[in-house]
Amino acid sequence: MASTYIQRNNGTPDNRKKFTFSFWVKRAKLGTYQYIQGFQDNGVGDPRMTLTFRDDDVFELSEGNSSGTTLGRLRTSRKFRDTSAWYAITVAVDTTLATADDRIKIWVNGVQETAFDNRVNYTQNLDTCIDDNRHTIGAIYNNSLSGYFDGSLSHYHYCDGYAYQASNFGSTDSTTGEWQINTSPSVSYGTNGCFVLKDGNSVTDQSPNTNNFTAGGTLTKTEDSPSNVFCTNNSLWKQESTRYLTHTRGNTMISGGASATWYQTPGTLAFNSGKFYWECKWNAGTNLTQNHSGVIDYDKTMETGLFRAKTGSVFFTNEDGGETWIDGSNSSADYGTIAQNDILGVAVDMDATTPTVKFYKNGSLHLTANVSSLAGKFVTPAQMIYQSGEFQLNFGNGYFSTTAVSSAGTNASGNGIFEYDVPTGYTALSTKGLNL
For the chain, give percent helix, strand, coil, nearest 5: 5, 40, 50
H helix runs in 221-364, sequence order: none
Per-residue model confidence (pLDDT) at position 35? 95
Which 3 state secondary structure label does DSSP give 300?
helix
pTM of the predicted structure, to 2 decimals: 0.90
Burial 292-331 (b: 16+ CB within 10 A, else e): bbbbbbbebbeeeebbbebebbbbbbbbeebbbbbbeeeb
Among candidate residues 253, 266, 181, 183, the one with its CA nearest the CA of residue 218? 253
For residue 282, which phi and psi values (nearest 5 degrees)? -90, 80
Among candidate residues 45, 17, 48, 16, the one with its CA nearest the CA of residue 35? 48
Q: Where are the beta strands (DSSP E) in 149-258?
A: 151-160, 170-172, 179-181, 194-196, 214-216, 246-248, 253-255
pLDDT digits (tens, 9 = 90+) for 262-284: 999 999 999 999 999 999 999 88
Give CA separation, 244 vs 84, 124, 259, 373, in Å.
18, 49, 11, 26
Q: d(Cα 5, Cα 374) in Å, to the nearest integer?
A: 43
Which 3 state secondary structure label does DSSP give 431?
helix
As beta bridge partners, residue 356 has: 349, 370
pLDDT digits (tens, 9 = 90+) for 256-265: 988 899 999 9
List per-residue pLDDT tens for the chain, 436 residues long: 468 999 998 877 778 899 999 999 999 999 999 999 988 754 445 568 899 999 999 999 999 887 788 999 999 999 999 999 999 999 999 999 999 999 999 999 999 999 999 999 999 999 988 866 789 999 988 777 889 999 999 999 999 999 999 999 999 998 888 999 999 999 999 999 999 999 777 899 999 999 999 999 888 888 898 889 999 999 999 888 899 999 998 999 999 988 899 999 999 999 999 999 999 999 888 899 999 999 999 999 999 999 999 999 999 999 999 999 999 999 878 899 999 999 999 999 999 999 999 999 999 999 999 999 999 999 999 999 999 999 999 999 999 988 999 888 888 788 999 999 999 999 999 999 998 7
Sheet holding 292-297, edge to edge: 262-266, 379-386, 292-297, 313-317, 323-326, 329-330
Per-residue model confidence (pLDDT) at position 285? 83
Q: Are 28 and 150 in contact (CB under 8 A)?
A: yes
Q: d(Cα 191, Cα 193) in Å, to the nearest integer?
A: 6
Among candidate residues 8, 26, 28, the one with its CA nearest the CA of residue 254? 28
Q: Which domains does the chain have, with CATH numbers?
A: 5-216 (2.60.120.200), 241-434 (2.60.120.920)
